[in-house]
Each structure stands twice: as C-alpha cells, then as structure tokens.
Amino acid sequence: MHPVVEREQLSPNVVRLVVEAPRIARVRKPGQFVIVRKGPGAERIPLTIADIDPQAGTITLMIQAIGASTTELCALQVGETIQDVAGPLGQATELIEHGHAVCVGGGVGTAVILPIARELARRGIRVTSVIGGRSREWVILEDELRTAGDVVACTDDGSYGRPGFVTEALKDLLDAGGVDAVYAVGPVPMMKAVSSLTLPYGVATTVSLNAIMVDGTGMCGGCRVTIGGETKYACVDGPEFDGHQVNFGELADRLTTYRPFEQQALDKLGACATTEVKA
C-alpha cells in the first residue's frame, strides 16, 4: 500500500497527491511515469511523476478528474492509500545541453513540464515556461515554475496573465529568436499546434503523448503511435517523441476508442454517489 501524505486542490478538477513510494523516488528521472491502481479490480492509470523527495521517500502525482477512475483517485484524502504504484516507466527526457528552452504546458500538462523545467534549470539552461488555462482558476503551478525561470501565463478568456492561447505567446518567443528547444505537453490539439508552429523555425520540439496504456511494458499494444511512419509504443519508447514526426490525427482517433465505456463508468460512479447521499 502507498499512503497519501499530502493533498492539494490545484484547480477545479486537478489534485496534487504526495504518495509514499520510496524505491521509485530514489531512481525516477524527468519524463518518466508510473501506473497506479487504486484497489482490487480498479483500472490501471498512467500518471507522470511531477516531483520526488528521495529523503522522504515520496513522489508527487498531479491527477485530473476526467473519468470514473481518475475521479476516484482525486477523491483520496490524506491517510488513505493507493494499492499499486508501478514504475518508474518510460524513457527519461532528452534534455538540451546549452541554450534557451521553452516549456509549454496546457492544463494538467503543466505538471509534466515542471520536472523538465527544473532539471533544465539545474543544468544551467535558460528556461521560459509558457502555461495556459481556460481562465485564472485553471492555471496551475505558476509559482513552482518560476523557480526554474521566466513564466508567461495565458488564459483563453483573458481573466489572468496574457489573453489568448499558449501558441500565441510561443510565437512571440520564436520570432524574437534564440530558442533552441521546445518541450510541449497538453491536449493533443495543443501539442499538434505547437509542433506545426515550431517546424518552419527549425526548432526541435518534444511532446509527451497521452496514449491509452494498460500494462506499461509494451505487451498490450494499446499505446502504439506512429512516429515518422514507424510504429512505436509510448510506454517503452516514449512517452516523449519528436513532435514534428508524430501522427497526431491517428493519436486523437485512438484516444476516442473507449469513450462510450468511459462515459458509462462515469455515469455509474455518479449514480452510486447519489445513492450514498440519499441513504
């Protein structure tokens, strides 16, 4: 069992959980993830390791409540436990050795760029983070990212920071010149837009693919993606790839495969919660 030792609500549907997992905390590298299972019979959920504390033996997970399983994980309180935490899985981020890196995070994707930005800064790389959300309450981890460098916060409705999309702020940085690499994580349309934007500038762009995963070992094949015309597996070959080589159309289509079943599970969870309240 892995006890929850800290819990924080970051946005209306994103929760930060600090969980005991000492062996993982000792060896995890930026870009790697874990697969968690709340309890017997529960779904296996891949989650990025947003932070670690090797001395305390803890890892930090940022979870967005979208379906039934992530909603149940977000409902966990301090003292409750997650039965299984497997990892670290996947390949570590390939980081540039010098120059200026721009880390672009959309929504909960900001949690994925946090360890990347911190490690880049630790290596002496200049870091600018561009993060976004629909409105002020959806912008997360701004203060944490400021410890790694400059931050440009964007909101779709203009309620905070710079009005507009993260791609608009990124374009200004690219036009100014001196950007050596871009690391982008967020919804598939955002990562596709960022990759399309950086291509004519010739700026290397790394994206983290949120493909469907089951076992995290490449055996199930659920996370297969097409990179530069070749089949890769996000769980073992990634989850990060060259954004200019990703078939984003195929990725977006595959992510909808289980959408009806996900909705059924969420509806069932809501019905159970209503029944408990009435009782």
In which element (H, E) is residue 89 found? strand 84-89
- Give me 233's structure tokens: 């597996």
Interacting residues of 252 by C-beta distance below 8 A, sequence separation 6+: 188, 189
Q: Which domains does the chain have, with CATH numbers?
A: 2-89 (2.40.30.10), 100-208 (3.40.50.80)
Tell me, what's the pLDDT at 217? 76
Residue pLDDT tens, the chain, 279 long:
899 999 999 988 899 999 999 999 999 998 899 999 998 888 888 898 989 999 999 999 999 888 888 899 999 999 999 999 998 999 999 999 999 999 999 988 899 999 999 999 999 999 999 999 889 989 999 999 999 999 999 999 999 999 999 999 999 999 999 999 999 999 999 999 999 999 999 999 999 998 777 777 777 777 888 999 999 988 889 899 999 999 988 888 877 655 554 555 556 656 544 344 333
pLDDT for residue 212: 76
pLDDT (0 to 100) of residue 276: 41
Spatial contact of 231 and 211, defined as CB atoms under 8 Å apart: no
CB neighbours of 91 closer than 8 A, spacing ≥ 6? Answer: 31, 32, 236, 237, 238, 239, 240
How far is Cα 89 from Cα 49, in angstroms, rounded to an integer?
Answer: 10
Do residues 34 and 83 make contact, with C-beta atoms less than 8 angstroms apart? no
Please give the pLDDT value at position 48: 87
pLDDT for the residue numbered 218: 76
What token pair was written down for 91? 């390949």
pLDDT at 278: 39
